[in-house]
Chain A
Amino acid sequence: EIVLTQSPGTVSLSPGERATLSCRASQSVSSNYLAWYQQKPGQAPRLLIYGVSSRATGIPDRFSGSGSGTDFTLTISRLEPEDFAVYFCQQYDRSPMFTFGQGTKLEIK
Chain B
Amino acid sequence: QVLLQESGPGLVKPSGTLSLTCAVSGGSISSTNWWSWVRQPPGKGLEWIGQIYHSGSTNYNPSLKSRVNISVDKSKNQFSLQLRSVTAADTAVYYCATELGFGVPSFDPWGQGTLVTVSS
Contact = CB atoms under 8 A, between A and B. Distances in A.
Nearest to B101: A50
Interface residues of B, number: 21
Contact of B95 (A33, A44, A97, A101): A44
B45 A102 contact: yes
Interface string A9-32: 000000000000000000000000
Interface in A57-99: 88, 90, 92, 95-99
A47 B111 contact: no
A90 B106 contact: yes
A67 B120 CA distance: 47
B1 to A, nearest CB: 10
B93 to A, nearest CB: 9
Nearest to A1: B62
A45 B45 contact: no
A97 B100 contact: no
A65 to B, nearest CB: 11
Contacts of B59: 95-97
Given A50-B104, A51-B104, A90-B107, A44 B112 contact: yes
Interface of A: 1, 33, 35, 37, 43-47, 50-51, 56, 88, 90, 92, 95-103
Interface of B: 36, 38, 45-48, 51, 59, 61-62, 95, 100, 104-108, 110-113
8 contacts: A44-B110, A46-B108, A56-B100, A88-B46, A90-B46, A96-B59, A98-B36, A103-B45
